[in-house]
């Protein structure tokens, strides 16, 4: 996938450490899931979470592929759920 949707999917892969199925089975507790991982991985996941406000703004994009990719990414950012659910 190219363009903004592709970047958003890449960010979702980073947020889930490219294992969304395992992430979902862990009860969405990213802090527990990140324990013991290399610091660079933890910082990468934190950096993706830090962009949540931008992803929420992309929900209003005129491009349906961007809206879908932004919603998919936000679905994995449990720390941002309280702010993201109303936007969805």
pLDDT exceeds cutoff 60 at 75: yes
**What are the structure tokens assigned to 59, written together?**
């929900």
Residue 3: predicted pLDDT: 94
Residue 45: predicted pLDDT: 87
**In sequence order, what are the residues at sequence separation of 6 or more whose Cβ sits closer than 8 angstroms to the Cβ of residue 4?**
58, 61, 63, 65, 66, 69
pLDDT digits (tens, 9 = 90+) for 23-60: 665 555 666 677 777 888 889 989 999 999 999 999 99
CB distance 68 to 9 below 8 Å: no
pLDDT exceeds cutoff 80 at 79: no
pTM: 0.81
Helix (H, G, I), strand (E, B) or coil at 12: helix
Residue 23: predicted pLDDT: 61
Residue 25: predicted pLDDT: 57
pLDDT digits (tens, 9 = 90+) for 4-27: 999 999 999 888 887 766 666 555
């Amino acid at each position: 996938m190219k363009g903004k949707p592709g970047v958003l999917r890449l960010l979702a892969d980073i947020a889930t450490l490219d294992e969304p199925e395992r992430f979902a089975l862990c009860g969405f507790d990213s802090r527990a899931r990140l324990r013991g991982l290399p610091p660079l991985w933890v910082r990468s996941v934190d950096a993706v979470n830090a962009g949540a406000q931008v992803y929420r703004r992309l929900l209003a994009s005129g491009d349906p592929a961007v809206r879908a990719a932004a919603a998919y990414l936000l679905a994995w950012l449990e720390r941002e759920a309280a702010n993201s659910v109303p936007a969805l």
